[in-house]
């Protein structure tokens, strides 16, 4: 049995991803699930029974239509941080990275190429319907594929797992955030994301690329007046489009609190907002895992785990020989965007390979027959607020783009 077919056994490998810099732990289905995070790992991540070498595939999207994955191309650099941490513990991790070009055919071809390279599993560090091609190719090759950034459950199935927040949890968290702040009349500005599940807006405006911003503001102002005026705004859709609307609202001196779908947590949102002349100092709200830099300030296991992730990021950025996944620029230039979701997905696959290695001397199927892959916990999706405060936890470079910090709302 080849290593790259370690999951195609009629059973599944279990990993629980805590969403904060490498919370990976194992459980058997017959055991009581853990309710507390694992003890924080040091910078080096040790995976028991792992082989000396592991080859993992990474699919990224360099350029695409809005919402088809290019928003996460720099967040995907977290995969490099994971590889570094695993290598520090004695596991040589080789990442094979291919750009899927934002198309279904490109995604299929990328996975087929990775299969030919003999990877053990794939992290699709992208988003959007074009990933259907990647999923189909991975299933055809018998390769496990993890989706850390795709929120739709439509792509899930045999050998396919989501390791990030899903649409139902996102919608429920947005609804709860609005309710907790006693906001009952929310205006939805749909820039391509539709109406989030569980959210019942009092009004809706559709805004597409190229639409007139002045008309948008006029329509928003109309909704903000009268007997049934709105008390909040929710923007749903791709990061760059959200940024256009946020900048327009800021320019119009809108006082309604602004909520965003989690697309805004991608590095592309901050970059687009800055390019549009918007302000990062305005307080914005969204939902997602509490796994940004601010989490490292906590003294609990989550804080220690995030601190370890950031320490590894600084170490990697300090090596001038280290480049991005595609080798087109120094890692240090994009270190500010490296994300824990791509990091955790790589660690997850390393644990999966180790499960096979541990059972090879007897019966691989029996060794992991009682294990399965747990989806991202819905209660890990919490209310988040933005801040432009530089916490000084990321490497500093002259080319670094200003970035928003997302922290758990009180």
- For 55-66, how does the pLDDT look when each residue is reduced to its tens digit (9 = 90+)? 999 999 999 999
258, 249 contact by CB (below 8 A): yes
- Say whether pLDDT at 258 is over 80: yes
User: What does the pLDDT read at residue 40?
Assistant: 44
Residue with tokens 């995030």: 306
CA gap 113, 262 in Å, rounded: 31
Interior angle at CA 86, CA 381 and CA 406, nearest 5: 25
CA gap 153, 68 in Å, rounded: 16
- When mean pLDDT is compared across 5-19, 331-345, 396-410, the lowest value belongs to 5-19
Token pair of 343 as six digits: 């990091």
Token pair of 73 as six digits: 């191309």
CA gap 399, 381 in Å, rounded: 32
CA–CA distances in Å: residue 230 to residues 12, 62, 184, 207, 291:
47, 38, 8, 18, 31
Instruction: Give the length of the chain.
Output: 410
User: What does the pLDDT read at residue 179?
Assistant: 96
Q: Calculate mean pLDDT across residues 233-237.
A: 98
Strand partners, 401: none
Band the pLDDT of 359: cuts 50, 70, 90: low
Q: At what angle do helices 301-317 and 78-88 cross, to 10 degrees?
A: 90
Higher pLDDT, 132 or 400: 132
- Say whether pLDDT at 368 is over 90: no
Longest dimension (CA), the chain: 74
Tell me the pLDDT tens digit for each residue of 146-177.
999 999 999 998 889 898 999 999 999 999 99
CA gap 254, 239 in Å, rounded: 20
CA gap 262, 179 in Å, rounded: 18
Percent of the chain with pLDDT over 90: 70
Closest by CA to 339, choosing from 59, 100, 150, 81, is: 81
Token pair of 207 as six digits: 């805004």
> Quick check: do 3-165+293-376 and 168-288+384-408 share a fold?
yes
CA gap 231, 75 in Å, rounded: 33
CA–CA distances in Å: residue 260 to residues 124, 153, 166, 254:
24, 20, 15, 15
User: What does the pLDDT read at residue 403?
Assistant: 86
Q: Where are the domains of the chain?
A: 3-165+293-376, 168-288+384-408
Token pair of 152 as six digits: 């739709």
- Say whether pLDDT at 39 is over 60: no
Residues 6+ apart with CB under 8 A from 117: 55, 57, 96
User: What does the pLDDT read at residue 25?
Assistant: 34
Strand partners, 98: 59
The Cβ-side half-sphere exposure at 216, using a 13 Å CA radius, reads 28
Tell me the pLDDT tens digit for each residue of 283-338.
999 999 999 999 999 888 888 999 999 999 999 999 999 999 999 999 999 999 99
Token pair of 19 as six digits: 């969403």
117, 107 contact by CB (below 8 A): no
SS3 at position 238:
coil
Q: Chain-wide mean pLDDT for the chain?
A: 85
Token pair of 58 as six digits: 């990474």
- Say whether pLDDT at 106 is over 70: yes
- Say whether pLDDT at 341 is over 90: yes
Fold of 168-288+384-408: Rossmann fold (3.40.50)
Report the 10 Å Cβ neighbour count for 333.
Answer: 20
Tell me the pLDDT tens digit for each residue of 392-406.
899 876 666 788 999
- Say whether pLDDT at 231 is over 50: yes
Token pair of 63 as six digits: 């350029």
CATH, domain range 3-165+293-376: 3.40.50.2300
Band the pLDDT of 112: cuts 50, 70, 90: very high
335 secondary structure, DSSP code: G
Instruction: Tell me the helix, strand and coil percentages in the chain, rounded to 5.
Output: 40, 15, 45
CA gap 25, 310 in Å, rounded: 20
Closest by CA to 21, choosing from 34, 40, 48, 36, is: 40
């Amino acid at each position: 049995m080849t290593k790259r077919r370690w999951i195609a056994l009629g059973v599944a490998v279990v990993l629980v991803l805590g969403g904060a810099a490498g919370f990976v732990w194992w459980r058997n289905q017959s055991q009581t699930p853990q309710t507390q995070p694992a003890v924080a790992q040091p910078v080096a991540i040790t995976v028991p029974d792992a082989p000396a070498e592991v080859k993992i595939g990474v699919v990224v999207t360099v350029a695409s239509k809005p919402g088809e994955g290019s928003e996460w191309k720099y967040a995907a650099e977290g995969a490099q941080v994971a590889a570094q941490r695993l290598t520090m513990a004695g596991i040589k991790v080789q990442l094979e990275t291919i750009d899927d070009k934002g198309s279904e055919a490109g995604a299929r071809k990328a996975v087929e190429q990775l299969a030919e390279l003999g990877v053990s599993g794939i992290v699709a560090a992208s988003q959007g319907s074009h990933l259907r091609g990647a999923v189909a190719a991975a299933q055809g090759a018998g390769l496990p594929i993890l989706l850390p950034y795709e929120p739709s459950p439509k792509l899930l199935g045999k050998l396919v797992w989501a390791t990030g927040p899903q649409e139902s949890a996102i919608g429920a968290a947005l609804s709860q955030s609005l309710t907790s702040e006693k906001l009952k009349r929310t205006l939805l500005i749909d820039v391509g994301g539709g109406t989030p599940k569980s959210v019942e807006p009092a009004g809706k405006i559709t805004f597409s690329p190229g639409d007139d911003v002045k008309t948008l503001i006029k329509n928003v102002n109309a909704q903000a007046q009268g007997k049934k005026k709105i008390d909040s705004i929710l923007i749903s859709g791709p990061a760059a489009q959200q940024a256009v609307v946020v900048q327009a609202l800021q320019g119009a001196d809108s006082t309604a609190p602004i909520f965003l779908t989690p697309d805004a947590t991608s590095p592309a949102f901050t970059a687009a907002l800055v390019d549009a002349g918007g302000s990062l100092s305005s307080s914005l709200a969204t939902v997602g895992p509490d796994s940004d830099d601010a989490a490292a300030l906590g003294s609990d296991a989550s804080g220690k785990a995030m601190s370890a992730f950031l320490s590894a990021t600084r170490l990697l950025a300090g090596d001038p020989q280290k480049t991005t996944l595609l080798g087109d620029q120094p890692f240090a230039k994009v270190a500010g965007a490296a994300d824990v979701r791509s990091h955790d997905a790589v660690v997850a696959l390393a644990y999966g390979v180790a499960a096979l290695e541990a059972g090879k001397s007897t019966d691989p199927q029996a060794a992991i027959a009682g294990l399965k892959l747990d989806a991202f916990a819905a209660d890990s999706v919490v209310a988040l607020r933005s801040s432009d405060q530089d916490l000084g936890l990321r490497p500093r470079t002259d080319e670094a783009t200003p970035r928003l910090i997302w922290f758990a709302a009180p």
